[in-house]
Amino acid sequence: MIWYIDSHIHLSDPAYGPDMKFILKEMEYLKIKACCVSMDVENSFQTLKLAQQSDLVLPFIGIHPECANDDLEKMITLIEHNRAYLSGIGEIGLDPTYIHNTDDAKRQRHVFETLLSYGEKFNKPISIHSRKSLDDIFEIMTSYSTKHALLHWFDGGKKQLRKAMDMGFFVSYGPVMVYANDKQLLASITDESKILVETDGPVKFSKCFEMKSGQITFIPSVIFCASKILGKTFDEMTLLLEKNTNSFLGI
């Protein structure tokens, strides 16, 4: 059986709460699995609860750089107690958008490096937030395994993409690729064995998506776009993405 896989979506976000039963039914009917990433400790608890409702939800827990002041010790405990059930660690990373002083920068980096170390300790894949921070991510990751690391929503340039490929990162592209020429160009030169797709919902998307929150049902459209860019049939692209995602997940 072929599965569509959303490699990065915040299904445990409150925005999806009222419709969750319907979303899980959609996933079952359309054969979609989702790597459900988390923002902080409380949201990680919600992710774990959601994963108990459906084995189509693959739980990733962690502290997003926006939430770097969250309780790191509680997150470490949560990872240790649930390591057998976790699909991965994330969303973690760096982002100068949320840094206002030197202490913020130090804290954000400390949280990122600490959770990276636990991902490595328990051999879990990592979903990385790297907005405006790719070069710093590359520098830090030289000390960690990148065998199962994803630079979600890749927004670097050609040189940074080559660096990511050389370091063994996976990279993912989302609904923006459907209408953005620069994303289509990057996808066309990405190593086929390292490309994944995502929605990053509930982020809103413009153009053909009419500023609607990202839905997991957008995934077939993203796959179709990727298939045209790489010159493959839809089924060929789906099979490739399933293989790549399983490689990222280590399964």
pLDDT reported for residue 71: 98
pLDDT reported for residue 146: 86
pLDDT reported for residue 9: 98
Please name the helix (run of DSSP H) or strand (run of DSSP E) that holds residue 36, with its range, or none. Answer: strand 32-36
pTM over the 0.85 mark: yes
| Residues facing residue 197 across a β-bridge | 173
pLDDT reported for residue 12: 98
pLDDT reported for residue 212: 83
Decide yes or no: CATH 3.30.70.980 for domain 4-249: no
3 state SS for 56-101: CEEEEECCCHHHCCCCHHHHHHHHHHHCCCCCEEEEEECCHHHCCC
pLDDT reported for residue 138: 98
pLDDT reported for residue 82: 98
> Is the Cβ–Cβ distance between 192 and 173 less than 8 Å?
no
pLDDT reported for residue 210: 81
Regions in the chain scoring below 70 on pLDDT = none
Summarize pLDDT for 186-237 with one digit per residue, the tens: 999 999 999 999 999 999 988 878 888 899 999 999 999 999 999 999 999 9
| Phi, then psi, of 231 in degrees rounded to 5 | 70, 40
